[in-house]
């Protein structure tokens, strides 16, 4: 981080603290939003690019277009756009500040991240790019420098300045756009682009993070572009023998020359990466966030929770393993939390009588949340097998976003209606089986 003495004191209402970096089109500064008391990143266009009226008009239009394209992106793995001023003397964007490093810091043989972490990063990038696709965007410049890794391990995709809106009439960059080493064959050939182009570029990034080498690099950009369109990459495991057995097939499929030969969807690519990750030798207590996210996503209870809500829940809850025979809830005891049963089975008893056996996807103890005045557990829940649960404290959920609370409320209502219907059905069967008077 540079702190030259000639830093601008203010950009708009933001007080500049340091220079974070600079590129061909602008400088990125670390600044403070005094009103909200938070650090932000400001991307300001170079002054020399604005000297000619035609150039200035073009760069202002492109910045305005970037604002239009990215303002609607709301995903935990995409850097948020907070503010912008394309009419300023030097136009600028104000972005969420990520205290960390770009993935380009981890692309040499001596700086490579653990394999499990790379697969976790790739999984989160798939989720982010799937969100962008749903919003009609193709990023077009996926590369390590445009993926940030925070000090806490969070992954953030950034720089949608080259993004293509596939359903827009807005002014956009045309021609050969992107960084040569990470371009897809269809980018090189200036064909129509879909999400498959970003998929190819992400696979190049993952390949580089795992091996310390880019799959198509050559001595010149022209030679690199030729290799991208004509030559097959070396299998990653030939460059690094400790990589998981099935990783070659996953990456080489994502690096297929023809878009239709790659994974059909981002979900397919993410699932394939997750399958490889599951095969890594690791303790269950060290399951990655991506694996746990996938476990929650697969549960019917969370069918109406979008990714942002699930990630918020991941931060909110506490994961717990319980061995067979462990009592999770005690009848008659007070409680201020509920549990989501993610894996395994539990037995529900009341006054020594077994009421039911429940499997993954159910909630336990939610009535203490729905009825705060009644904190006493009405039944005992005991693990019939080893179980994985997500514990959510009632006070924490009440302080969560209104969206997450609303989704839980709706999901709980569905659960209660389902239980009521099951009870009514059971009562009906008892009536039918009763002897006539």
Catalytic residue among 33, 120, 141, 287: 141
Helix (H) or strand (E) holding 342: strand 337-343
- Which of 46-55, 285-294, 297-306, 414-423 tops mean pLDDT? 297-306
Closest CA to 210 of 111, 328, 319: 111
141 is catalytic: yes
Is 301 a residue whose pLDDT tops 50?
yes
Strand partners, 387: 322
Residue 122 lies in a domain: yes
Residue 89 lies in a domain: yes
Six-digit token pair at 219? 């001595």
The pLDDT of residue 173 is: 46
Whether 250 and 115 share a structural domain: yes
Q: How much is the average pLDDT of 74-83?
A: 92
Is 172 a residue whose pLDDT tops 70?
no
Choice among 255-259, 350-354, 359-363 with the minimum mean pLDDT: 350-354
Q: DSSP assignment, residue 78?
A: B
CA distance 252 to 211: 14
Whether 51 and 143 share a structural domain: no
Q: Where is pLDDT greater, at 299 or 417?
A: 299
Report the CATH number that the domain containing residue 52 is assigned in CATH.
3.30.200.20
Whether 163 and 237 share a structural domain: yes
Burial of 203 (0-12, 13-18, 19+ CB in 10 A): buried
Range of the domain at 59: 10-96
Q: How confident is the model at residue 184 (pLDDT cuts 50, 70, 90)?
A: very high
Q: How much is the average pLDDT of 247-264?
A: 98
Six-digit token pair at 151? 């000090």
Is 117 a residue whose pLDDT tops 70?
yes
Q: How confident is the model at residue 123 (pLDDT cuts 50, 70, 90)?
A: very high
Is 358 a residue whose pLDDT tops 50?
yes
**For residue range 200-234, what is the model confidence (pLDDT) as tens digits?**
999 999 999 999 999 999 999 999 999 999 999 99
Q: How much is the average pLDDT of 184-197?
A: 93
Closest CA to 413 of 298, 294, 304: 304
Residues 6+ apart with CB under 8 A from 154: 76, 77, 98, 100
Give how far Cα 357 sits from Cα of 344, 349, 414, Å: 11, 9, 19
Alpha carbons within 13 A on the beta-carbon side of 326: 13
Is 282 a residue whose pLDDT tops 80?
no
For the chain, the 3-state helix, strand and coil shares in percent, each to the nearest 5, are: 40, 20, 40
CA distance 391 to 110: 39
The pLDDT of residue 400 is: 79
Whether 18 and 148 share a structural domain: no
Is 89 a residue whose pLDDT tops 50?
yes
Residue 415 lies in a domain: yes
Among the candidates 295, 321, 356, a domain finishes at 295
CA distance 377 to 398: 19
Whether 374 and 400 share a structural domain: yes
**For residue range 230-250, what is the model confidence (pLDDT) as tens digits?**
999 999 988 887 898 899 999
Going by their DSSP bridges, the two strands 155-157 and 318-322 should be labelled as unpaired
Choice among 98-112, 159-173, 401-415 with the minimum mean pLDDT: 159-173
Is 381 a residue whose pLDDT tops 90?
yes
The whole-model pTM stands at: 0.72
Q: How much is the average pLDDT of 71-91?
A: 89
Whether 329 and 426 share a structural domain: yes
Burial of 188 (0-12, 13-18, 19+ CB in 10 A): middle
Whether 186 and 280 share a structural domain: yes
Among the candidates 33, 66, 96, a domain finishes at 96
Q: How confident is the model at residue 311 (pLDDT cuts 50, 70, 90)?
A: confident
Q: Using a pLDDT cut of 70, give the percent of the chain over it.
A: 89
**For residue range 403-432, what is the model confidence (pLDDT) as tens digits?**
889 999 999 888 888 777 766 666 665 555
Whether 125 and 220 share a structural domain: yes
Among the candidates 96, 118, 153, a domain finishes at 96
Q: Where is pLDDT greater, at 269 or 430?
A: 269
Is 95 a residue whose pLDDT tops 80?
yes
Tell me the average pLDDT of the chain.
Answer: 86
The pLDDT of residue 14 is: 93
Q: Where is pLDDT greater, at 281 or 54?
A: 54
Residue 5 lies in a domain: no
Whether 355 and 208 share a structural domain: no
Give how far Cα 331 sits from Cα of 45, 385, 420, Å: 63, 20, 21
Report the CATH number that the domain containing residue 423 is assigned in CATH.
2.60.120.10
Closest CA to 200 of 141, 133, 243, 124: 141
Q: DSSP assignment, residue 234?
A: P
Q: How confident is the model at residue 178 (pLDDT cuts 50, 70, 90)?
A: low
Whether 77 and 52 share a structural domain: yes
Residues 6+ apart with CB under 8 A from 389: 319, 320, 322, 328, 339, 340, 341, 342, 364
Our count of domains for the chain comes to: 3
Give how far Cα 275 sits from Cα of 62, 238, 373, Å: 40, 21, 44
Whether 313 and 331 share a structural domain: yes
The pLDDT of residue 317 is: 85
Q: Using a pLDDT cut of 90, give the percent of the chain over it.
A: 48
Strand partners, 354: 349
Helix (H) or strand (E) holding 193: none
Choice among 39-43, 55-59, 91-95, 220-224 with the minimum mean pLDDT: 55-59
């Amino acid at each position: 981080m540079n702190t030259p003495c000639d830093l601008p004191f203010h950009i708009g209402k933001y007080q500049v603290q340091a220079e974070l970096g600079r590129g061909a089109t602008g400088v990125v500064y670390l600044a403070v939003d005094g009103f909200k008391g938070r650090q932000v990143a400001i991307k300001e266009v170079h002054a020399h690019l604005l000297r000619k009226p035609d150039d200035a008009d073009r760069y202002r239009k492109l910045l305005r277009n970037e604002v239009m394209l990215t303002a609607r992106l709301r995903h935990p793995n995409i850097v948020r756009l907070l503010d912008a001023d394309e009419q300023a003397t030097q136009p600028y964007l104000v972005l969420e500040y990520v205290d960390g490093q770009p993935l380009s810091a981890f692309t040499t043989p001596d700086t490579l991240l653990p394999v499990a972490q790379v697969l976790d990063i790739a999984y989160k990038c798939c989720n982010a790019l799937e969100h962008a696709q749903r919003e009609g965007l193709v990023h077009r410049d996926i590369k390590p420098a445009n993926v940030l890794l925070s000090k806490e391990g969070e992954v953030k995709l950034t720089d949608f300045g080259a993004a293509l809106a596939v359903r827009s009439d807005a002014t956009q960059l045309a021609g050969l756009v992107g960084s040569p080493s990470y371009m897809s064959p269809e980018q090189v050939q200036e064909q129509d682009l879909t999400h498959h182009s970003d998929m190819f570029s992400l696979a190049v990034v993952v390949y580089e993070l795992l091996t310390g080498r880019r799959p198509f690099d050559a001595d010149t950009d022209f030679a690199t572009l030729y290799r991208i369109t004509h030559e097959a990459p070396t299998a990653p495991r030939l460059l690094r023998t400790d990589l998981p057995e099935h990783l070659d097939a996953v990456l080489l499929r994502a690096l297929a020359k023809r878009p239709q030969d790659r994974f059909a969807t981002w979900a397919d690519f993410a699932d394939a990466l997750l399958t490889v990750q599951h095969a890594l030798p690791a303790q269950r207590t060290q399951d990655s966030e991506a694996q746990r996210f996938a476990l929650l996503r697969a549960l019917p209870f969370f069918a109406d929770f979008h990714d942002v809500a699930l990630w918020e829940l991941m931060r909110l809850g506490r994961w717990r393993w319980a061995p067979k025979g462990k009592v999770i809830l005690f009848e008659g005891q007070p409680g201020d939390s509920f549990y989501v049963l993610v894996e395994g089975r539990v037995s529900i008893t009341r006054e020594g009588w077994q009421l039911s056996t429940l499997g993954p996807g159910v909630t336990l103890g939610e009535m203490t949340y729905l009825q705060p005045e009644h904190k006493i557990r009405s039944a005992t829940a005991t693990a019939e097998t080893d179980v994985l649960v997500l514990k959510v404290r009632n006070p924490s959920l009440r302080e969560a976003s209104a969206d997450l609370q609303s989704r839980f409320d709706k999901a709980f209502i569905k659960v209660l209606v389902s239980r009521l219907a099951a009870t009514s059905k059971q009562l009906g069967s008892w009536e039918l089986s009763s002897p006539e008077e």
